[in-house]
Amino acid sequence: MRVGLFVTCLVDLVRPRIGFAALELLEAAGCEVVVPAAQTCCGQPGWNSGDRPSARALAEKVIAEFETFDYVVAPSGSCAGMIRTHYPEVFAGEGAWLTRVEALAAKTHELTDFLVNVARLERVPGRFAGTITYHDCCSGLRELGVKAQPRALLAGVPGAELREMKDSEVCCGFGGTFSIKFGDISAAMAQTKCDCIHASGAATVALGDLGCMLNIEGRLRRMGDATTRVLHVAEVLTAKA
């Protein structure tokens, strides 16, 4: 199957190794992977902030770049959720555009959901020696139903021990611009999440959205925790140690 990898702008700019890890996993699942070179943003920041024209322009770009693939996969529940859930809202009632959007949305998946439910990946390529807890990021969980998929994949990583944290489904406080507009509330939520991570006894927290990763890791470091690792699930699944 021919898969278009939507890297996401945040991964591209901040932690591109997540994109390479996603590529490795898709190839391990037998996919032909194409990464459109001119891809940028899905339009989610504009959509969430009320800038409908910019969200629309970026959505049109994504549609043109990705609609010819058999599937579209993103290592981000929030970006995949934007395409699947909110693109139909962006183009509501627009006939031909809406038809194209619905076709794209139907074949767009978050990475772990695609690997488990579509590609049926039987063996992950990585090894990871250590304890891991998993945080359920809001968009992936609530918009796409991503819950069991990452855990199923992590359970297949040689050497990894998964320890569930309390309240794994509770928001970390990131929420895009929420963390900027409501900084004190966001910081308190991040503190609670970090306390749960510590209580799990795991040395690593894995998750599926880079924005949440940055929020959690930033809070951990400000707390003086310089050792707990914060990794994207794709990084764990392709780890070499």
Which tokens hold the place of 59? 């959505």
What's the confidence (pLDDT) of residue 176? Answer: 79
The β-bridge relationship of strands 204-207 and 130-134 is parallel
The pTM of the full predicted model, rounded to 2 decimals, is 0.95
What's the confidence (pLDDT) of residue 225? Answer: 98
What is the per-residue pLDDT across 175-185, written as a single tens digit (0 to 9) for each? Answer: 877 888 888 99
What's the confidence (pLDDT) of residue 203? Answer: 98
What is the per-residue pLDDT across 19-32, written as a single tens digit (0 to 9) for each? Answer: 999 999 999 999 99
What's the confidence (pLDDT) of residue 181? Answer: 85
Domain residue ranges of the chain, discontinuous segments joined by + = 2-117, 130-237
Which tokens hold the place of 199? 């209580």
What's the confidence (pLDDT) of residue 24? Answer: 98
- The residue written with tokens 């749960």 in the block is 196
In this structure, which amino acid lies at residue 95?
G
CATH 1.10.1660 fits 130-237, yes or no: no
Which tokens hold the place of 66? 């990705």
| Stretches in the chain below the pLDDT threshold 70 | none
Considering the segment(s) 2-117 as one domain, its CATH architecture is 3-Layer(aba) Sandwich (3.40)
Measured distance CA(12)–CA(20) in Å, rounded: 10
Residue 2 φ then ψ, to 5°: -100, 120
What's the confidence (pLDDT) of residue 127? Answer: 97
